[in-house]
Amino acid sequence: MSLHLHDTATRTTREFHPRCDGVASIYVCGATVQGVPHVGHVRSGLNFDVLRRWLQHHGYDARLVRNVTDIDDKILTKAAEAGRPWWEWAATHERAFERAYDQLGCLPPSVLPRATGHVTQMVDLIQRLIDKGHAYAAGGDVYFSVDSYADQYGKLSGQRLDEVQQGETLASGKRDPRDFTLWKAAKPGEPSWPTPWGSGRPGWHLECSAMATFYLGSEFDIHGGGLDLVFPHHENEMAQSNAAGDGFAQYWMHNAWVTMSGEKMSKSLGNVLSIPEVLKRARAAELRYYLVTPHYRSTLEFSEAGLAEAVATYRRIESFVRRVGQRAGAVGHGEVCAEFAAAMDDDLSTPQAIAVVHNVVREGNAALDRGDDEAARGAAASVRAMTDVLGLDPLSEQWAEDSGADDAAQRALGDLVEAMLEQRKQARAERDFATADLLRDRLQASGIAVEDTPDGPMWTLKDG
């Protein structure tokens, strides 16, 4: 089966055909760096990291551009409230986002452009739109004329023209309330750049069109982002880019939200969980597992119980791979299972792909139980290959070299516990139940709970 991806614009799941043989070009809307990243922010980055890894598995040179919006109304407001320069506020939170992406195992983007570094390209795009009659200047502002593109506007989101609301303040120079801002006239105390229409700063929608085409060309393969960006952001990107004469994105992909109590996770609602806080309750690999296991188009309702279940489930995979290494020798990289590949080719169906991983873990544990070390190594190698696609290979450098004394202690504890569990397993196989019970009692007395599961023994640190 070939790779099929769901395209928001056509509302169909289409076979992926890149514009250039052997190359897959992806633009992902990155963060508006106004505050500390939360799990809702990073889900998009993780989902498109999995897409990139799967494209690479297919042999593509996957080129991913993920922008940084470092000039925006929200950034200016937050910086002013904190009494800090806007550029320092943006840079501080940009570093926080990049650290979060790195901690959770995202491959570095091919390029990480900042909006403030691409004003020249934005001015060029505005001029092209004005020349074609799709934009107009008014009092230092520049607007895109939706009516000039009425036969095409709304094709991404399905918005009807008579229902369009841009969410912008209706300025005196705007001809139509449906028009959206390309360039904002300078205001006292705000940063600005010179243009033929007066000094000012770019509108949000303009930034991404200019950066995407500058790095990937006038037409590229995939544009991605969160579901909340379909309108107005991506609708406006598509409209202004196509109106200027650019083919722009051939596939539009959108990941669903992370919610709490049924509401989208957002700073304005106050229902956020920052990455630094969540990483106090789960290791980075475990949080990544929690966020990439659901299908990217499915809403994820965040809960402590769900996170705890993900922690335990990922540790079963991790425990199996490490047990094979201790029992049967070094585990290399194998091949992904056909069922895993079929699931990933079906619009990145990660729930089904993860189910295949757990099936192989069960088969590998059964092989260990019957003393078939070769079969166990083969299963573990396949598990490593499949989890690597998801950025979750337990033996990868990313996770094996996780820094910090706590992580080193966790690994040391894990090795000691796994050795005792192996001794307990051997005692049970020899029907020496007294020794098996003694080993379990020692673990429990040390604050370690042991549960016998179909995937093998699972251990966790007991609360308190």
User: Is 17 one of the annotated binding-site residues?
Assistant: no
Question: Counting runs of H as helices and runs of E as strands, what totals does the chain give?
Answer: 15, 15
Any known ligand binding at 237? Answer: yes
- Measuring CA to CA, how many Å separate 199 from each of 183, 194, 345, 398? 9, 4, 48, 45
Q: How far apart are CA 455 and CA 441, in angstroms?
A: 21
The answer to whether 208 is annotated as binding is yes
Alpha helices in 58-152 (DSSP H): 73-82, 86-103, 119-131
The whole-angstrom separation of Cα 356 and Cα 360 is: 6
Residues 6+ apart with CB under 8 A from 144: 129, 134, 135, 179, 180, 181, 182, 205, 236, 239, 240, 243
| Segments of 80-218 assigned E as strands | 135-138, 141-144, 180-185, 200-202
Tokens of 316: 């079963």
- 423-427 own/partner pairs: CB under 8 Å, 24+ apart: 424/457, 425/457
6 touches 230 (CB < 8 A): no
29 assigned ligand-binding residue:
yes
Type of residue numbered 303: S
Is 168 labelled as part of a ligand binding site?
Answer: no
Question: Two tokens at 153?
Answer: 């506007």
Binding residues for Zn(2+): 29, 208, 233, 237
Binding residues for ATP: 267
Binding residues: 29, 208, 233, 237, 267
